[in-house]
Structure 1
């Protein structure tokens, strides 16, 4: 006998359970890692700004600038896998204007030469870098703390003036007029940084005033002797002899302090002259 057709069918409902209580604690780690990476890059940037010169920073910026050619000629080979680099003259986009090193225009800049203003700016920058190197403003000094208090620098229209001062406790010359070990160390430091530029050098000697009761004032002879000794020390430390343009004695006619007998008026000036 067949089944009763009036019986209601049995309906089975199966509910799909979707888990909603999963782990959600990993997103902050990714964000934190990005933050730490950014902070590391920031502090590295701050360190580079403090530890490099303006010229070095420009070089770093140019290195990461893809629009500046890093070589004058192609770096590609000539073999089967050779070719031009992206900065070679034949690969660079040609828009019909401008110039290259192989096809210069009539202007000095396109020929790779400096105009007078550009040359002066480059010289000014070189002298400032020499000054910063000598005084340790770039993080590394050519002088130790004991020598630093005997030196003062200034940029003038004539060039970079490096003044070496004598004090009552530390003298540049002994009683016989011979250089002391202090002056020898100062001369060695100046000669080391002198290689950073090719400017001619002038050496000038100054002495403090002597009492007017002296029958003969030795200031002229003494300042000339001091300047000559400084020139010889620079030569001994490796300065090219041809770079010395002049050696001058000023006696006590140009004191650095109001008191003409102040020991600090006994000083030497090494001037890195500007190219005229």
Structure 2
């Protein structure tokens, strides 16, 4: 807040103490209005930035080193995960598979779900082995992944119907499906050391949580973990 003062001195008089000018409140009010307008302008600008952009900006300033603070860094190009996702989403064989392939980006990588549909059944009922259609789709997926980077985790899943075979639960069934995918992947040229995990998850993670008995919950998931 700004203040102004003045003094007057006449002949034979003692100097008077500084007095506050009567119009100084106007200057203070003008400062307040200027600050308020700047605040609302900033809020308007921030509201036009997407959540992803805000996170990227915050991450940029949070992770800057002292050297970076005095230089302008220009980054270009997609990340490794973006490149893998783009390659998979544009792969002709996977595109032709239609609803049998579900591709999604996750926090820990890229997930490919090979799902069972009426048009293209991947498995026989209560069977861990691929049908001819399922094996062909798994082979095409492995071929698409052969030209990409990243480690792989293979997961087998079932629907919520219990197994009808005594001593053979959905846990064994889903594990067999994951291992069936591993064998197809290795036969298609995926190096065994690139596969970091093979897991059977039974019906614990349905693709459609509200309808765990749907055929699409019978699937093999491939998690592609890409650094960078």
TM above 0.5 = yes
TM-score bracket for this pair, using the shorter chain length: 0.5 to 0.7
Considering only CA atoms, is the larger Rg found in Structure 1 or Structure 2? Answer: 1
Is 1:150 the counterpart of 2:100? The answer is yes
* 5+ long unaligned stretches in structure 1: 1-106, 108-117, 135-140
Give CA deviations for 1:198-217 in whole Å, capped at 9, x if unaligned.
21111011100125999767
Q: Which residue of 2 aligns with 1:128?
A: 85
CA contact (8 A) 2:162 2:170 kept: no
Cα root mean square deviation, aligned: 3.0
Q: Which residue of 1 aligns with 2:143?
A: 192
Q: Which residue of 2 aligns with 1:244?
A: 195
Which fold has the larger relative contact order, with Cα–Cα distance below 8 Å and residues 6 or more apart in sequence?
A: 2
TM-score, with normalisation over the residues of structure 1? 0.50
207 and 119 in structure 1: CA distance in 2 versus 1, 3 angstrom threshold: farther
CA contact (8 A) 2:121 2:131 kept: yes
179 and 133 in structure 1: CA distance in 2 versus 1, 3 angstrom threshold: same
Alignment coverage as a number of residue pairs: 155
Q: Which residue of 2 aligns with 1:221?
A: 172
> Which range moved further: 258-267 or 225-234?
258-267
Please state which structure has a larger fraction of its residues in strand. Answer: 2
Partner Cα separation in structure 1 for residue 81 and residue 178 of structure 2: 26
Partner Cα separation in structure 2 for residue 238 and residue 151 of structure 1: 20
CA contact (8 A) 1:151 1:165 kept: yes
Partner Cα separation in structure 1 for residue 93 and residue 164 of structure 2: 42
Partner Cα separation in structure 2 for residue 225 and residue 275 of structure 1: 29
CA contact (8 A) 1:210 1:217 kept: no
Partner Cα separation in structure 2 for residue 162 and residue 200 of structure 1: 13
Within a 5 Å distance, the mapping from 1:168-187 to structure 2 comes to 168-175=118-125, 176-187=127-138
Runs of 4+ with >3 A deviation: 118-121, 211-217
CA contact (8 A) 1:203 1:271 kept: yes
